[in-house]
Amino acid sequence: EEFARFCGTAHAVAVSNGTVALHLALVAAGVGPGDEVIVPALTFAATAAAVRHCHAIPVFADVESDSWNIDPDHIESLITPKTKAIIPVHLYGTPCRMDRIMEIAQRWGLIVIEDAAEAHGAEYQGSRVGSIGRMGCFSFYGNKIITTGEGGAITTNDAGLAVKLRTLRDHGMSPT
């Protein structure tokens, strides 16, 4: 509850690590075999690996030369009928251009899952990262800004998604 408040979201679901956060967010979003997910060409391997864990296909977008974050101007050229989601990574704590990414996602009906593993507390236009997309994924590994040695969290404002994420986290068992 405190982490959700910190991020400016209604819900935060604790998970075992940041990779699991990405994987469960993708599963909760309905990403599956044959779907495509746009990810930046420069990121930690876990971002693309989580897509592959869903038997989906990571599609690599160019990154901006100044921020090293996903280039929103390249995203749209990669969208196909199989594209289901975009995972912008707020690399090294620098927020992506989320206004442009959200505009593209809305126009094409895509889900945005923020990889905020390295960006706890970073803000973009007055909003904390992890609160802008449909879900935000965080890592609490030992080299992160907030650490528990290991661990992760998924943030969302969608109560239904929060229940689904908790159920997935707990081997399909109802939280009640």
Catalytic residue set: 144
- How many other C-beta atoms lie within 10 A of the C-beta of residue 161? 18
Strands across the sheet containing 83-86: 11-15, 152-156, 135-139, 111-115, 83-86, 36-40, 57-61
Beta bridge partners of 70: 63
Return phi, psi of residue 113, to 5°: -115, 110
CA-nearest of 51, 47, 53 to 69 is 47
The CA R_g of the chain, rounded to the nearest whole Å, is 15
73 vs 49: CA distance, rounded Å: 24
